[in-house]
Amino acid sequence: MPVATQAAIKGLTPQQVEALGINLILNNTYHLNLRPGIEVLNEAGGAHKFQGWRHNLLTDSGGFQLVSLNKFTQITEEGALFESPFDGKPTMLTPEESISIQHAIGADIIMQLDDVVSSLTVGPRVGEAMWRTIRWLDRCIEHHEKSGRADRQNLFAIVQGGLDPDLRDMCLDEMIARKDRVAGYAIGGLSGGEEKDVFWRVIKQCADKLPADRPRYSMGIGFAEDLLVCVALGVDMADCVFPTRTARFGVALTFKGPLNLRLKKHEGDFSPIDAACPCPTCSGGTSRAALHHILTLETAGAHAVTQHNLVFQAQLMGRARDAIVQGSFPAYLKSFFATYFGDRGYPEWCVNALRSVGVDLLEGQENVKTLPGNASSWDRPE
Amino acid sequence: MASLKFDLLDTVEQATTFGPRLGVLSLQREDGSSLQIKTPGLITTTSRGVVPHLSRDHTSLTEAVRWVQLPFESFLERNPPIPTLQGGPHALHKFLGYKTHQHLLSLTVRDPSDGREMPANGKDHIAAMTIRGVRKITPTQWKEYMRACRPDVVAALSDVPFTQPPYSQKRITKSLERSTAWLADLLSSQSDLNHEPFNVLVHLVGSHDARARQAFSEGLVEPLYGKDAELIAPFKTLDEGVAGYILELEHLRASLVGADSPDIHDAVSQLCKASLAPLSFGKLRVIHTTSSPHDILQLVQDVGVDLFDAPWAHQAADLGIALDFRFPVSPPPLVVGQACSSPMRRDGGKLDIGHNLFDTAYAHDHSRFASTFIDAATASQLPDAHEARDFVCKCLACSPVTSEECLVHSSVDSFRNTNGESMNLPYTRAYVHHLLHTHEMSSHALLATHNLSVVDRLLADIRKMLSEPGGEARYREEAKKFYEAYDRQLSVFDEARAQWAKVERERGKGRLRREKDSDGANDAD
């Protein structure tokens, strides 16, 4: 699910995005509430119409941005008290208010307001935030059901509990008890700089316990290997700014690993990013050399690589769907890791995570190293 | 290189050297395909080889983009320039993603709209600008690069001074001599059987000196003798070897600064005429760097120019301005139930040529960009004979097109293309206002496709009027009405620039608050 923070996938038009085979994008409630503001969205008839998007839309609750973008935010039982970026006045965002804003935006999937703490936080604050998130979920559900929009908009709960397995477990129990009143579950409080080896264990714990008949949405996941591991652990959907943001910096994602097209080694390379890729950039024959010439200097360079990266991610996930349907998902995982990381070595945490669901990436790959830590694949100067 | 043919149509009273004229430019390619451009027509300018803000799919879908003018200088950053290594019969088309059946590519060394001061040109080179500094380029290198890149049309290397004006008589004489010699050198290789001949355009030099401009042109049509004649054989004159002429307005305006002329636009027209008077009537006349739609209308009428660029339309897209004007000046199309405001009226009573969508006045304006045109969705609701149907803006912002084939990424996907249900609605002023304030690049993409389409429409409407009986007389009247109706100073551009400068000052954390504070202060004034 690509991210359109301010009601636009950066640089593209909705017609371009749908042509890429993408039918679900994310808007940020916090940002849209500030600009253009609810009044404008109401006048336009909701965010779909405002941005000319005919497909599905998801909005987050705004809780994450309150904490990540605003250092004065105070969380009270009533809601999140923050300094308005417009006038500096204390402003309260309550769970009810968050849901009302999301009603005005009109997204197909909306998120509860959660009490977000950094995934690196330890101590009693994590437990407090988890329990408050559950109480706020109840308020969100009440408000959403009363609004009469529950038939058009689907409310997701957000599982919190930091990196503590016991807290996660309690949160899961409470939220699963409310299953009939929520449309799906998000796994929150991750992707905040925690160890990958801890990250996948939390995902697995949640995915193992969440009901099979509700979608599970892992928030803020965008690296290819993270996405496939999450899918293997039982996650259904994810969002991240990574493919679009990295495109603007000149990095193209491929099944053989990322390409930093700004590096000198690409300046005279007349081959496309990926000859087999169906995206407009590759199928239109845009060469790495042509992209090298314009990237970060002309917006058209960012547009071209953004189109490509979105298709890369859509293909990565599309192939996962096909493999699951055909019963060949383990083989897909193995071939993906072999081409994506090759001889450079596999991240150890991926190997461990996939072993936990019965897939041994190293089977028949005795010569492949494993790399500790958050090892990811990156294109470096020669 | 494909063969280029330019024919003037005899529908207009074209006895005079200077006056409105209609023509058709045809490019016949070796593979049998051909491409036609009606004149007066639009030149789309580029930056680093691309139409600013347009992805390749948007460039192809924007019908206004046909003659694509490419400054080569950004490629001089590397030696050899990367496009020269591409190879193949349409190397430049392939490298930059232009389509041979749709786009005619013309190549110049310099960006004609870049009037910045440069180091002096030399006896055997001119100075070109790259982001890595100034590069020298010689006539021999230029020929090699053009041979490797295979554009459809090339401009001969010319010595146009970009040092501080005014230019001395001696400097202008040198400019004439060098430009003539370099053109002769280029034409001398036209009969080289090892290489396909170029379609050559020549810059008409002479700066602000009418006599020098005339002298340069007379030199082009003068039969050459002796060694010089041998050099350019089989051509008898330099003029025989060129397909058309380029007039550089940026340079002209710069060299006229401080000159004693009551009306700079008239002075420019006079200098253009001084250059063209001795030359072949039937050859293509190209203008670089117009500064307003008024320039285009005036140069069609006073001089009889065939092709125009519109860098101001690109600047408007950069600044957040959506163009909204029509020729002939006419009331907005009447469509019941739709409010769509005209651009702002200035103190003198003249209308802006566009809307500065960055202005907070547009925050709640949910109408399409232009009041003078309608969108495809609105048009589809009108009866077939409704006259407003002739005023559809076909740009990707007013009439967005859903791709017929969306990618499918797995066998279980059922991607429902909802286009069958209803037409895409136009993007609104409020949406672009929001995108501009949130620094979203999509705003510029939507404005770029729109603005180019509006200028292309201006040229189409000029052609339409001139092709009708009595068109030329009516044209003169309507052009006058246009000058009276629309602001030629482009005050709206200055306003937008001032607003962006303010954004630059206030950007960073806490911007929203600072903006609000300073808006409050303005209100109090």
Mutation for testing the A interface, residue in B364, B409, B413, B429 having most A CBs under 10 Å: B409
Q: Do B512 and A39 touch (CB under 8 A)?
A: no
Domain carrying residue B494: 321-402+422-524
Residue B243 in domain: yes
Cβ atoms of B65 and B71 within 8 Å: the answer is no
What is the DSSP secondary structure assignment for residue A287, as one 8-state letter?
A: B
Domain A14-220 has CATH 3.40.50.720: no
* CATH at B227: 3.20.20.105
Q: How far is A224 from chain B (nearest CA, A)?
A: 16
CB contact under 8 A, A8 and B442: yes
State whether B277 and B343 are in the same domain. Answer: no
Q: Is B461 found in the same domain as B430? A: yes
How many whole angstroms separate alpha carbon A243 and alpha carbon A307?
A: 9
Nearest to A13 among B56, B428, B445 (CB): B445
Q: Which of A40, A293, A317 sits opposite B409 (nearest CB)?
A: A317
DSSP state of B278: T
Quick one: pLDDT band at residue B503, thresholds 50, 70, 90? confident
Which residues lie below 8 Å from residue B419, measured CB to CB, with a gap of 6+? B402
Give the tens place of pLDDT for each residue, A14-72.
999 999 999 999 999 999 999 999 999 999 999 999 999 999 999 998 888 887 777 77
Say what the pLDDT of residue B277 is. 96
Task: Identify the closest residue of chain B to A320 by CA–CA distance.
Answer: B410
| Closest C-alpha to A264, from A243, A289, A282 | A289
pLDDT class of B521 with cuts at 50, 70, 90? low
Cβ within 8 Å, pair A36-B363: yes
- Whether B56 and A280 lie within 8 Å, measured CB to CB: yes
Q: Where are the domains of chain A?
A: 14-220, 246-371
Residue B10 pLDDT > 90: no
| pLDDT reported for residue B464 | 97
One-letter amino acid for residue A330 of the chain: P
B237 and B180, same domain (yes or no) = yes
Given this model, what pLDDT does residue B524 score? 40
B499 pLDDT higher than 60: yes
B284 belongs to a structural domain = yes
Q: Note whether B281 and B355 are same-domain residues.
A: no
Share of chain B above pLDDT 90, in %: 82
Alpha carbons B140 and B265: distance in angstroms, whole number:
36
**Distance in Å from the first CA to the final CA of chain B:** 63
Same structural domain, B289 and B326: no
Name the domain boundary from B247, B276, B309. Answer: B309
In a domain, residue B5? The reply is no
pLDDT greater than 90 at residue B455: yes
Of A55, A88, A268, nearest to B513 by CB-CB distance is A88
Q: How many CB pairs under 8 A join A and B?
A: 189
- Could you tell me if B61 and B198 lie in one domain? yes
Same domain, B229 and B348: no
- Residues B231 and B328 grouped into a single domain: no
pLDDT tens digits, one per residue of A134-171:
999 999 999 999 999 999 999 999 999 999 999 999 99
Residues B288 and B327 in one domain: no
Q: How much is the pLDDT for B523?
A: 43
**Which pairs from B229-234 meet CB under 8 Å and 24+ separation?**
B231/B184, B231/B185, B231/B187, B231/B188, B232/B184, B232/B187, B232/B188, B232/B190, B233/B191, B234/B191
User: Comparing A197-201, A258-262, A315-319, B505-509, which segment has the lowest mean pLDDT?
Assistant: B505-509
Question: Could you say which of B309, B336, B361 is where a domain stops?
Answer: B309
B266 shares its domain with B360 = no
Q: How would residue B52 be classed by pLDDT, with cut points 50, 70 and 90? A: very high
> Do B431 and A50 lie within an 8 Å CB cutoff?
yes
Task: Identify the residue among B50, B129, B132 best suited for mutation to test binding to A, counting A beta carbons within 10 A and taking the highest.
Answer: B50
Between these two residues, B512 and B178, which has the higher pLDDT value? B178
Q: What is the ipTM of this complex?
A: 0.97
Structure tokens at B245: 């002429």
Q: Is residue B170 in a domain?
A: yes
Kindly list the catalytic residues of A: 60, 239
Q: B448 with B54: CB under 8 angstroms?
A: yes
Which residue is closest to A323 within chain B, CA to CA? B410
Confidence of residue A343 (pLDDT cuts 50, 70, 90): confident
Q: Is residue B343 part of a domain?
A: yes
Within a domain: residue B262?
yes
- Which tens digits make up the pLDDT trace of A89-144? 888 899 999 999 999 999 999 999 999 988 888 999 999 999 999 999 999 999 99
B278 and B362 in a single domain? The answer is: no
Total of domains in chain B: 2
Of B78, B400, B416, the CB nearest to A15: B400
User: Quick one: B340 and B302 in the same domain?
Assistant: no
Contact A321 B408 (CB under 8 A): no
Q: What is the percentage of chain B residues whose pLDDT exceeds 70? A: 95
